[in-house]
Structure 1
């Protein structure tokens, strides 16, 4: 989208994918970007380099972009194009990715605005240099025993006209209390497991971010996600991460999913 406070140009704008730290040319040749008819190129901003592309500003007005947000396929196409450029540059240099659809009214405006943020870029680049982002998701089995259904079975028997046995009411309430207690204990155990896994991986990682776990999906409702986190891990410790996760799987019995390595989008701060 057009930079805040700028009047839309009737011609072109400068789309910025990322800022990287390199003294040479990042060699962006061959990348398609979001405008296939224009080359992806570099723009010097002091000691740093921005990866940019000339685009038609009319294609990125607020109105056009709002319509694009409702078209899942079109939005995915732009997101993939943006990510491909960022990933290609980040594979060679420390790189701070910028948000999708970061636009300025020309190279001069882009260079000035980015130069004003150069201190924040340098801080982020120092933090993520020779690091990658890894996603960790932990699932605990959503166990359900036959005893969990006992109160419902009692209710069904009553509905069929069978009279309750002596003391059935007290037994029903006791089963209800036991069921609630078991559920609370499972929740407590799951929270402890999530905290333990997060603590172990955080000790290996340089930084970490804990996200809200996703709800149960239709693919496998037997699993409950109890940890959804992302970690900034030094490149030379990736093998240690694999060994650590394998050990956690064996020790806890939990299903642990690992994704990555990714460009460290989650650890570049508010740039």
Structure 2
């Protein structure tokens, strides 16, 4: 939904949008300053019973050229991302909220209101789906000792006269590695099934790339779950039980604003 911001005239402004929420009462916008201290956060009506949390920014800061330069400046990009996220979290702490992507902006209020208003049905559906819910991340790691043993065995090579024994050892290690992989996938599926049964919705993401050294072992599950706030304690107990039952390292993170469950907005 973001408009392209062309090279602006000196002093030109744009409207930056952080999130959309219900407008049954004005959102409390005290707290974070947002991306700039030059203008306050404010609510902008964008449809029946909906309001966007917006801020006036300098258009020159968001041209394609300016944004490409920012993408190459990690500390500066992190500053923008953190400021955006702080506003979203502040609003979401008080009411159901649909966060918008970083750098969602429009030339003026009229265009922002029109563009966001066209998506009002999707916003209402997302707000209804995520109301009184939070996003939680679950990552599962298993030991990768068999892979290290296989590498050690291969590097040693066969001794004279023991070629068959060497091949048998390699075959045994290969079988162990395959069994280990199968068992690890079963653990991932079991954790995903149990947490998914407790959650309202879930998304299973690709595990981190194999081969990257990690003291926690090999990641076999990287998933995120939409969980009712009243079931947060139950989720924590389930994670603890899964650690004991599977012997795997089950990492639980959250609660977060449900970015993963608001759809493409």
Give the TM-score band, short-chain normalised.
over 0.9
Which residues of structure 2 form unaligned runs of 5+? none
Partner residue of 2:55?
53
Per-residue CA distance 1:71-112 (angstroms, 9 max, x = gap): 000000000000000000000010000000001111111011
Per-residue deviation at 1:2? 5.6
Does 2:205 correspond to 1:205? no
Per-residue CA distance 1:27-83 (angstroms, 9 max, x = gap): 213421011211011111231010000000010001100110010000000000000
* SS of match in other structure, 1:13: strand
Does 2:23 correspond to 1:29? no
Task: Choose from 153, 156, 159 the match for 1:153.
Answer: 156
Partner residue of 1:135?
137
Q: Tell me: CA distance 1:270–1:204, structure 2 relative to 1, closer, same or farther (3 Å).
A: same
Q: Give me the CA root mean square deviation.
A: 1.9
Cα pair 1:206 1:231 within 8 Å, conserved: yes
Cα pair 2:70 2:76 within 8 Å, conserved: yes
Per-residue deviation at 1:153? 2.6
Distance in 2 separating the partners of 1:21 and 1:105: 23
Cα pair 2:44 2:54 within 8 Å, conserved: yes
Per-residue CA distance 1:218-266 (angstroms, 9 max, x = gap): 451x511110000000001101101111110110111111110000000
Distance in 2 separating the partners of 1:219 and 1:192: 21
Distance in 2 separating the partners of 1:103 and 1:229: 30
* SS of match in other structure, 1:92: coil
* SS of match in other structure, 1:103: strand
Per-residue deviation at 1:144? 3.6
Does 2:243 correspond to 1:249? yes
Distance in 2 separating the partners of 1:55 and 1:81: 13
Q: Tell me: CA distance 1:70–1:90, structure 2 relative to 1, closer, same or farther (3 Å).
A: same
Task: Choose from 49, 65, 68 the match for 2:67.
Answer: 65
Task: Choose from 171, 181, 189 the match for 1:187.
Answer: 181
Structure 1 length-normalised TM: 0.91
Cα pair 1:29 1:41 within 8 Å, conserved: no
Count matched residues: 260
Per-residue CA distance 1:111-131 (angstroms, 9 max, x = gap): 111101000100111100000
Task: Choose from 238, 243, 256 the match for 1:262.
Answer: 256
